[in-house]
């Protein structure tokens, strides 16, 4: 067992046009470990088929990491961050985080840090919780990224957990699967440290099989603007399951399906602000459009 690359404190490493594979360790970072005070630049490279018994099957970032035009794929972490585990600033640009596996955060797990993702994909990853992207006490911005085909017991696509702040713009959050909460997006509630999420100009589509919240499970503070929630499926709240406060502006909740109740929106004692004057529409959901949502057609 050995790790391929370690970046020490004060180190600044740039990797170009490389394939990094075959690393295996019981510590963090199956392929690459970036220590506090170290910096990694990964360009036009592939990190694939690495394994760790800890965190970060591909990369464990405890310093600063910038990834561009690269692929992080088919890595495995026993604990967190199948593709990438990060406790420091992380920037991912036009890259693909695909087919990774972990206990939490199959694609990317970020804790107590910031992560900015632009373009590319987070797809076909697997985890117990947070199949694609898992934020824990972190600030995350995702722009123009496809988050598709991820699988987890809870929070199939994206989880904003433990007091995180998530912003997603021009994102396709589609075809993710979970068996309990939030097949597409899950926003944690006050028991864990309330999280916030803002989703703009995006599509939340065809996420399914959750017990609550096929498209969105909201336990925190969530805002959807100019976003389509379409074709999602759950036992309750096919499109949206809400426990706290969710506000919709110029948003369409259409053709979602609930097996039990709340095809479009199931409100479980929280507050749903439809803002219909902005053009929000809730229609063509089965078996009904809303449960306990004032001003929503039943």
Q: Classify residue 298: in a domain, yes or no.
A: no
Q: Classify residue 46: in a domain, yes or no.
A: yes
The whole-number pLDDT of residue 298 equals 65
Encode the chain (298 residues) as per-residue pLDDT tens digits. Answer: 899 999 999 999 999 999 999 999 999 999 999 999 999 999 999 999 999 999 999 999 999 999 999 999 999 999 999 999 999 999 999 999 999 999 999 999 999 999 999 999 999 999 999 999 999 999 999 999 999 999 999 999 999 999 999 999 999 999 999 999 999 999 998 777 899 999 999 999 999 999 999 999 999 999 999 999 999 999 999 999 999 999 999 999 999 999 999 999 999 999 999 999 999 999 999 999 999 998 897 6
The whole-number pLDDT of residue 208 equals 97
The whole-number pLDDT of residue 191 equals 74
3-class SS letters over 164-184: CEEEEECCEEECCEECCECCC
Q: Please provide residue 292's backbone torsions phi and psi, each rounded to the nearest 5 degrees.
A: 60, 40
Both tokens of 97, joined, read: 């985080």
> How many Cβ atoms from other residues are within 10 Å of residue 1's Cβ?
11
Domains contained in the chain, number: 1
Q: Classify residue 13: in a domain, yes or no.
A: yes
Q: 142, 173 in Cβ contact below 8 A?
A: no
What residues make up the domain containing 271? 5-291
The whole-number pLDDT of residue 222 equals 98
Both tokens of 117, joined, read: 């993702």
> How many Cβ atoms from other residues are within 10 Å of residue 27's Cβ?
15
Q: Classify residue 215: in a domain, yes or no.
A: yes
Both tokens of 238, joined, read: 């096919």
- Outline where DSSP puts E strands in 226-274: 228-230, 233-236, 240-242, 245-249, 252-254, 257-261, 265-267, 271-273
Residue 250 sits in a domain of what CATH number? 2.160.20
Both tokens of 22, joined, read: 């075959």
Q: Please provide residue 199's backbone torsions phi and psi, each rounded to the nearest 5 degrees.
A: -120, 125
Strand partners, 133: 108, 158
Q: Which DSSP letter does residue 190 get?
A: T
Q: Which DSSP letter does residue 276 get?
A: G
Q: Classify residue 297: in a domain, yes or no.
A: no
Q: Classify residue 51: in a domain, yes or no.
A: yes
The whole-number pLDDT of residue 189 equals 87
Q: Classify residue 280: in a domain, yes or no.
A: yes
Q: Please provide residue 277's backbone torsions phi and psi, each rounded to the nearest 5 degrees.
A: -65, -20
């Amino acid at each position: 067992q050995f790790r391929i690359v370690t970046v020490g404190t004060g180190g600044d490493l740039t990797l170009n046009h490389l394939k990094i594979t075959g690393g295996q360790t019981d510590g963090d970072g199956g392929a690459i470990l970036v220590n506090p005070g170290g910096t990694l630049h990964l360009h036009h490279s592939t990190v694939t088929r690495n394994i760790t018994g800890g965190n970060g099957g591909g990369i464990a970032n405890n310093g600063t990491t910038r990834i561009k035009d690269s692929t992080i794929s088919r890595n495995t972490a026993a604990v967190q961050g199948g593709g990438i585990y990060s406790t420091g600033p992380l920037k991912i640009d036009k890259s693909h985080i695909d087919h990774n596996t972990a206990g939490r955060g199959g694609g990317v797990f970020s804790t107590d840090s910031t992560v900015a993702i632009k373009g590319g994909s987070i797809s076909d990853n697997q985890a117990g919780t947070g199949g694609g992207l898992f934020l824990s006490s972190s600030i995350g911005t995702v722009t123009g990224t496809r988050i598709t085909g991820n699988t987890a017991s809870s929070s199939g696509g994206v989880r904003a957990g433990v007091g995180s702040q998530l912003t997603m713009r021009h994102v396709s959050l589609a075809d993710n699967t979970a068996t309990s909460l939030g097949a597409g997006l899950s926003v944690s509630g006050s028991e864990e440290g309330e999280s916030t999420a803002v989703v703009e100009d995006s599509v939340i589509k065809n996420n399914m099989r959750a017990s609550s919240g096929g498209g969105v499970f909201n336990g925190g503070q969530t805002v959807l603007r100019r976003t389509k929630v379409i074709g999602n499926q759950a036992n309750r709240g096919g499109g949206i399951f809400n426990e706290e406060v969710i506000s919709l502006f110029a948003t369409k909740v259409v053709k979602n399906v609930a097996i039990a109740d709340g095809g479009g929106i199931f409100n479980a004692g929280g507050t749903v602000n439809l803002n219909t004057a902005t053009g929000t529409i809730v229609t063509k959901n089965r078996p009904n459009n809303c449960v306990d949502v004032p001003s929503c057609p039943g």
